[in-house]
Structure 1
Amino acid sequence: MKLDVESVLLSGKAVVVVEDDETLRNLLVDILIEMGGHCDAFSNSEDALIHLMGMQDDCSLVVVDHGVPGSIKGKEFISMVHERWPGMPAILTSGYQLDASEVTPPVSFLFKPWSIEELAQAIDEAIRPPTPSATTRDVPVHKPI
């Protein structure tokens, strides 16, 4: 697959994907690899969290579906990740409306079904460093959910 998303490059960054739908998980991994990322993918949050805790290198981004099976849903997973690694870029996906007040920032929300362009934009917003002149009141760094 060849993508036309030249502006978003993950260039060797580690990405953890949590998606229970195998087809969508494989598609996400293919897209992220095409963007230059190194991906580890899981069908549930528990396995992904165990993996993150054992990683030797830093993870640069997590992409998580909210409605995964198990006791840890996507929002809770991101909150747990942010407790251990504050500020880790995260993208939460869901086909359902979610309460944004329950998710610890910074998080970009990607409503399903999403396009490759929407995914690329969410990744760019999630991993782009804040501009030095921007403040949280002036310019939002991440798209709120």
Structure 2
Amino acid sequence: MDVNFRLQPINGEIVIVEDEPLLRELMREILSEVGAQCVAFSTADDALVHMLTSDTQCALIIADHGLPGQVQGAEMVELVRGRWPETPSVITSGWAESFIGLPPGTHFLAKPWTLEELVMAVANLLQPGVPPTETSVDTPKQ
């Protein structure tokens, strides 16, 4: 996977919640590649337990809305905001955002999204107004 830019350093980890294993790993890998520390879970239940017991601050939540377990993506965001109100969030879904009932201030990323859309959503929430740093690729001079 080749990404052309990097994020500025992020204080804390990105919590990814996605029940599809390949998509979950892709999200974790691409965000790690652009400089983010990530942890990934298949259920919101597991992610919430991690957040409540971890010493590491959560910088951002990215959650699929339709998840197995007791808690859906939008519900997880509301629970997290109740305890950590400043935590930004992204909900991803193939469903229309109007059917989900997104919590206020939550960014919606419609599936299927591109890798660039994912990275830009993260950059815009964590570093508004700061464009990701372009990584230079040496090209021969003519």
TM-score tier, shorter chain, comes to 0.7 to 0.9
Identity of aligned residues (%): 37
Count of aligned pairs: 130
2:14, 2:68 → 1: CA distance? 20
Instruction: Please give the secondary structure, in 1, of the residue aligned with 2:95.
Output: coil
2:62, 2:26 → 1: CA distance? 12
Match of 1:3 in 2: 3
**Counterparts of residues 38-49 of structure 1 (less than 5 Å):** 38-49=37-48
Match of 1:89 in 2: 88
Alpha carbons 2:14, 2:62 under 8 Å: kept: yes
- Give the TM-score taking structure 2 as reference length: 0.82
2:78, 2:3 → 1: CA distance? 31
Match of 1:109 in 2: 108
Alpha carbons 1:44, 1:69 under 8 Å: kept: yes
Pick closer, same or farther for the CA change 1:76–1:92 going to 2, 3 Å: same
Q: Larger C-alpha radius of gyration, 1 or 2? A: 2
- CA drift of 1:98 comes to 2.5
- CA drift of 1:13 comes to 3.6
**Counterparts of residues 134-145 of structure 1 (less than 5 Å):** none
2:79, 2:10 → 1: CA distance? 26
Point out 4+ residue stretches in structure 1 off by more than 6 angstroms.
none
- Comparing 94-103 and 74-83, the one that deviates more: 94-103
Amino acid of the structure 2 residue aligned with 1:95: G
- Give the TM-score taking structure 1 as reference length: 0.81
Instruction: Please give the secondary structure, in 2, of the residue aligned with 1:36.
Output: coil
Indicate the RMSD between aligned Cα atoms, in angstroms: 2.1
Amino acid of the structure 2 residue aligned with 1:78: V
Unmatched 5+ stretches in structure 1: 131-145
